[in-house]
Every structure is written in C-alpha cells, then in structure tokens.
Structure 1
Amino acid sequence: MPNLRYLEPTELLEKIYATLCSEYEDAQHYESEQDQKEITVTKKRLTKKIFNEFVVDEEYFLTMNEKTFNERYQLYEVDLLKMIQECSENRIEYETFVQIIDDLIASAKFRLQAFEQLSDEIQKLQEEDEQVEQEEDEEE
C-alpha cells in the first residue's frame, strides 16, 4: 500500500473499485442498448459509492456534516468523481488509484490550511488594531 497522507482506504473501497473496473471491462462485451444503459447506471452508482466511501480524518464523505464537506471538499467533488471514473475506466491499479485520490485530497487540505492561515492573520491584525485603539483611548 502506498504511503498515504490523508485518505484512509477501507476494505470496501477496494472491492467497489474492483467492481467498477470490472463494469468498464464488461461494457465492451455488451452490444444491446438496454444492456449499455444498465451498465451506465451501474457505473454511475458505483462511482458515487466509491466517492462516499472515502474516509478522511476518520470521517466518511457519506456521513460528513454538509457544512464541513462544503468547506473542505465540495470544490474538488467534480475532480474526484472524474478521477474515479478515469482510473476505473483505464483499469489503473488500486494502489495507484488511492495515491492519486490522496494527492487530490492533499490539495484540498492545503487550500483549507491557507484559508485558515488567512483568517488567523486577519484576526491578529484586528486584535492589534483594537489594542492600539484602547491604548489611544486610555491616553486621552
């Protein structure tokens, strides 16, 4: 298993990913329109199941508080779904797949840290301004 920084892969994640890869492979062998429609629905559903199975900071995307998810990962949702689809469609090895997802989640984490750092700096400046104002008021 690759050295992951943020993603905490589950056993089920690996199984769903293998199933999705299998669906892409199977799709090549079915010609009827009905079969293709069913396979398309299955692929979409499995892609979403994989997405929901991601665990970061001991929390599943599926059960994550909506506000928390929106702040941290919503900006990356389209990219994550695209990564799942393209990795499974091209039968990328599972270990490589989770590394790719971990790298994208790292990007989301770094973005969050940058905004937190900005908020901290703004708060420090505001506190300094308030202290200067208090000192000026005390001098008067």
Structure 2
Amino acid sequence: MLFNRRALYNLILNRHHTFNLITIMLLAYLIPYRSPFTGETEYFNIENMIEGILMTGFFMLFMFMLCRRKPESFLPLVRIVLAMELTAVISPATFLFTGTALKVFMGLYAGWYLSIAVFAFSYLNGITYYRAALAVLMAFFLAQLVPAFFA
C-alpha cells in the first residue's frame, strides 16, 4: 500500500496538528534547493515564501471549490494541504543532481505531491481516483495560472 488511510484519517480528525503543520511549512521555506531552471542554489527569500504561501492557498481554494461537502471539508483540506507541503524536506536532494537529472527529479517530486493530493481528495470526497485526479489537476493548473493574471 503506497498511502496509509489510517494516517490520513488521523490527520483529518486531529485538530492539534494544524499549528504544527503551519510551523513546519514555514520552516520548510528555509531549506535551500537547486533550481531546475537555472541550476543555481536558491536560499531563503521572503518573496519566494510569500509566493509559495499564496500559490498553496490558491491551490487549496480551487480544490475546496471542487469539494462535495463544503462545510465539513474545509479544515481537513487545510490540514491535508499543509501536510502535502512537508514533501519539501527532500529539497536538499536536488544538490545531488544536475541538468536533465535535476529536471526529472523535480518532475517526480511534483508527481509525488499531486499523487498525495489525489489520494486525500478522493478519500475526503468519497470519489474514485480518476475523478479526484481530474479535480486535483484542474485545481493545480488553475493555481499555476493565477500569477499570469497579475503579470
């Protein structure tokens, strides 16, 4: 089993995790990584942190708009999205790769992030993985288009 339903259930039900996840998400922005586009090391930058928080917020907002049961799914969705941001702990692994290998690694990283979202969204809404994948990809692409509206 690739994903654990019991861990997801505990994450959804335990409200005490919210502030811990927020703190860890903010600390994850301090982790340096190598950019797949330029190949240069990216250190902490307040602009990147604000952009990351806004992009995560828009991604969560678009996923929330696609939820079936909105009143009971907001806080669990917040905790799930914050937990998805914990995948940033593998960012230092980007220093092991260069060129095409770095781009492949970042593609796999984005795929892992989105597969967690598909699993959680499917479980939260009681829908199939296929429908959850369509909803998550649509929310992800819409969230990626948001900066284009302000450029």
TM-score category of the 2 structures, normalised to the smaller one: 0.3 to 0.5
TM-score, scaled to structure 2: 0.34
